[in-house]
Structure 1
């Protein structure tokens, strides 16, 4: 078997010293090597098939060019997998790769994954949740740069990057208020009193924005579900069967909105002519099922992944809480309220 090419082989092919090759390949030339020489070295390395000895580099620098990414059902969920894509793109742009483990919520596997990643001297750790919620950090992280994404560290020890649920709820209210709606309902995605950030935050933002506009959300117009299609169908049917039915419904997620759509259609009502509906999440697998197209909010999954990598590599001095905007996807399910009903 032919020996692997060495830096000396690259130096001989490029007509430079081994020290020059080392500076170029390790990106430490800092103006000491001309652009022309750097290009010649890189071309020689590519032609010879030279690869840097990663293990030796780790020993020298004390860390690898890898970032640990630990998720619970994130890698196996297309919806939340966008976080991995965003993180991977940012890591690659900066010359790093992700070392990804999906634990499926298994704490033992999570601890083993963290230990393994530490043995690889990863540059930092990212802990991701499939849905926005508080997470507990595993023991033994020490001073390793660590960021939570689509999750919050309740202790405030680590930086947390998560969707701005409250602002999203406020924006949903404004969309309907701007269309002239004043008699609105909301179908939330968790039981009453839930601390789930997506449920409590979206509700808080929605109610606050209505109150600022002088509009009250009456108790009978606020319904609680579990975020499923069946909740939208059940509560949508009840709300829209009433003689004084609401002119608009804010659904806490898109699955609930799909149920509300079908409730309206079963009652012979038109979306948006008889009732406007707003969803949340912009779930790609569901969007083709809506007719007319659903007005909803995009969870910033890819952006959160990018920010998490940036925070790990930029070395936050103090833990921060980064609430990332959920962008409005204005489509066809909201119409101006009818004067006569």
Structure 2
């Protein structure tokens, strides 16, 4: 409900007096009761009076009556990350399509704060909650998240009890390998993310498998571990370029490492992509578009993951009995200008 000129909230009784009908008739019309026959003229007077007075239905009261609030919650520490907007955009777009509304609660990568954020969403009577992470990882889910349907995005439950939506890291690694193979590269190096995390393991596995299928080796000496920073990309690229039989192409664990590799390449007087090709991962557009030449990279499907999380949550709140599932979404290649044909 909204206020009138006196500052008091407009009630159904106010609408009834203005329309000249009973309060019951107003209730039937505004609550869209299809089981009660109301003359069209009465319905029109009620709706016109409600609009004139600025009446709004009480969402909390309707939620209590129907046990449905139409609200979903999104808990995340990624509000300030470069990728946050994409997950939120995908989730919001899908909730609008499902005629729902999304409440967003930041957690700042703190388990205690995450639990508090979920509790605040429960107080708003959300029907389900999404927990989204800034990087692909296993997480411990707060106990109160199990009180309602819960879906994990860009992360997965250590216990395997909750459904998760994650990127198919292997598909991204395969896409990068196919791009370099198609350009004729056979001497290829890989600068990895920190060893053991899901993104590093999946990207390397997919990349190596695709090269192996084409009978192209990826020896251990051509794999250099990094930490995801531009500095580690610079060091890794320098190590490979200064070593014996340097590669003609580099696949970097993320775009920041690719940025560092660019510096190492240019310091050595080499041209991208004429003498060496580089592929990144993440499709961090502010970075990939600003590099010269533009960085060919593999995209993480953040917007699609956000939408898929809401889609799964809608299924669960509609009564789906399948609560545990693991959906991996494809990571497509984004071609720009950093891959050229190998010089033989």
TM-score by length of 2: 0.88
Offset at 1:237?
Answer: 1.2
Residue 329 of structure 1: how far off its partner (Å): 0.7
Moved over 4 A (4+): 8-44
Are 1:126 and 2:101 counterparts?
A: no
How many equivalent residue pairs?
A: 335
2:250 aligns to what? 249
> Counterpart of 2:245 in 1: which secondary structure?
coil
2:175–2:332: 8 Å Cα contact kept in structure 1? no
* SS of equivalent residue, structure 2 residue 143: coil
Deviation, structure 1 residue 95: 2.9
Deviation at residue 52 of structure 1 after TM alignment: 1.3
Question: What does residue 141 of structure 2 align with?
Answer: 137
Q: Please list every run of 5 or more consecutive structure 2 residues that lacks an aligned counterpart in the other structure.
A: 1-5
Residues of 2 paired with 1:310 and 1:297: CA distance? Answer: 24
1:247-301 superposed Cα distances (whole Å, 9 cap, x missing partner): 1110010000011111110000011011111001011231243101110122111
Alpha-carbon displacement from aligned partner over 1:204-242 (angstroms, at most 9, x marks no partner): 100111111111101110010001101111111121223
Instruction: Classify the secondary structure of the residue corresponding to 2:92.
Output: helix
Q: Is structure 2 residue 317 aligned with structure 1 residue 327?
A: no
| Structure 1 residue 314 displacement after superposition | 2.0
How far off its partner does 1:338 sit?
Answer: 1.2
- Deviation, 1:5, is 2.8
Corresponding residue for residue 92 of structure 1: 96
1:75 counterpart SS class? coil
Q: Deviation at 1:65?
A: 2.5
Q: 1 CA distance for matches of 2:274 and 2:23? A: 74
For 2:281, the equivalent position in structure 1 comes to 280
Distance in 2, matches of 1:213 and 1:14, equals 77
Alignment of 1:155-304 (within 5 A): 155-191=159-195, 194=196, 196-304=197-305
Partner of 2:312: 311
Cα distance in 1, alignment partners of residues 40 and 194 from structure 2: 59
Cα distance change, pair 18–183 in 1 and its aligned pair in 2 (3 A): farther
In the alignment, the residues of structure 2 paired with residue 309 and residue 88 of structure 1 have an alpha-carbon distance, to the nearest angstrom, of 8
TM-score using structure 1 length = 0.89
Structure 1: runs of 5+ lacking an equivalent: none
Q: Distance in 1 between matches of 2:309 and 2:46?
A: 34
- Superposition deviation, residue 89 in structure 1: 2.4
2:143, 2:241 → 1: CA distance? Answer: 50
CA contact (8 A) 1:165 1:198 kept: yes
Greater mean deviation of Cα atoms: 273-282 or 232-241: 232-241
Q: Is 2:67 the counterpart of 1:66? A: no
Task: Give the CA deviation at 1:37.
Answer: 9.1
State whether residues 76 and 102 of structure 1, in contact with CA within 8 Å, keep that contact through their aligned partners in structure 2. Answer: no
1:78 correspondence with 2:67 = no
Instruction: Specify whether residues 258 and 4 from structure 1 end up closer, same or farther in structure 2 by C-alpha distance, changes over 3 A only.
Output: same
Residue among 127, 151, 154 paired with 2:155: 151
Q: What secondary structure sits across from 1:286 in the alignment?
A: helix
